[in-house]
Amino acid sequence: MPLVTLNEILPAARNEARAVAAFNVANLETLLAVFKAAEEENSPVIIQVYQRLFNDERAELIAAMTAKLAEKTAIQIVLHLDHGTSVEQIKKAIKIGYTSVMIDGSQFPLTENIELTSQAVEIAHKAGVSIEAEIGHVPFGNGKVELSSSEEAVKFVSHTNVDALAISIGTAHGFYKEAPCLDIKRAREIGAGVSIPLVLHGGTGVPEEQLKKAIAYGVTKINLATELQDLFLRGAACELKRNEKKFMPIDLCFKPVEKRIIEYSKIKIKAFRQATFSS
Ligand code: 13P
């Protein structure tokens, strides 16, 4: 089937208190492994591509491969621009076949974020593409976490008409030095204030039980990048070491690595299917 937008999969997921995994792929092997995991689990999946890959041909080539894979399957696949930086980048993503985009104005004050996001929403919706935006700030690495509030979520959603809202409840992008402790109370307040699907960035290394509690309050899309890409790189290094003395063609060398990514992705897809309701 053709690629779908977030709107075909996330509102239903929110109603049913489950989340859909969003995997950051960066090449043929990571894309193929995530696709196979979703097919084996008979589950919708969000394939996302980080904004830096839009600086050359990579994002467009991944789009062509993803559309080809989608053609021959019955599972729903969304192709999403992750952390879009500008309206120009949103336009480019739409032009090269992305069915969903994120505009990230989370580094700006709320009013500016609303302004930028509203412009991007108009462009995305005119093209039939779904759009995610972020409030609060989920830092990269050791940056400072700025939690989102329910009040700003309500204001942001009513002013922008965005389809999915990324919130900050204690996660950060990348590996953690210590396991994070999500602010579930904050997730509950935001989830009670806005009914659109909520997004959690920085899924790597967050204990499953915490994610399941966040899902209960409306987190419907969970982003995973670092763990998956690290698995790929370390897996490749491991294969090279194992075949130290002999040449191994690229496709054969990557096969066992893909297998590990398939297993990893299936575990995440399954884990996000069910929420934990706490009192
Ligand atoms: P991690 O790299 O922590 O998994 O976060 C991924 C992400 O949020 C991509 O936008």
Domain annotation covers residue 39: yes
Tell me what pLDDT residue 226 has.
98
3-class SS of residue 18: coil
**pTM of the shown model:** 0.97
Please indicate, yes or no, if residue 1 is contained in any of the structural domains: no
- Is residue 278 one of the residues assigned to a domain? no
82 is a domain residue: yes
Predicted confidence (pLDDT) at residue 279 exceeds the cutoff of 70: no
In the block, residue with structure tokens 């969000």: 46
> What are the pLDDT digits (tens) for 94-145?
999 999 999 999 999 999 999 999 999 999 999 999 999 999 999 998 888 8
CA of 24 to the centre of ligand 1 (A): 8
Burial 252-269 (b: 16+ CB within 10 A, else e): ebbeebbebbbebbbebb
> Ligand 1, atom 5: nearest CA belongs to which residue?
202
Rounded to an integer, what distance in angstroms lies between the CA atom of residue 3 and that of residue 13?
18
The per-residue pLDDT for range 13-37, each reduced to its tens digit, is 999 999 999 999 999 999 999 999 9
Q: Helices (H) and strands (E) in the chain — how many of each?
A: 10, 8
Instruction: Report the alpha-carbon distance of residue 228 to residue 24 in Å, rounded.
Output: 8
Answer yes or no: is 156 within a domain: yes
Give residue-wise pLDDT tens across range 157-183: 999 999 999 999 999 999 999 889 999
Question: What is the arithmetic mean of pLDDT over 201-225?
Answer: 97
| pLDDT reported for residue 142 | 80
- Closest ligand 1 atom to 171 CA: 3
Residue 88: both structure tokens together: 């120009």
The Cα 46–Cα 35 span in angstroms is 9
For the CA of 174, the nearest atom of ligand 1: 3
Q: Report yes or no on 178 lying in a domain.
A: yes
Q: Which domain holds residue 73?
A: 6-273
CATH number of the domain at 72, please: 3.20.20.70
Q: Does residue 100 sit in helix, strand or coil?
A: strand
Pocket of ligand 1 (CB under 6 A): 24, 82-83, 173-174, 201-204, 223-227
Task: Supply the DSSP symbol for 54.
Answer: G
Q: How many domains does the chain have?
A: 1
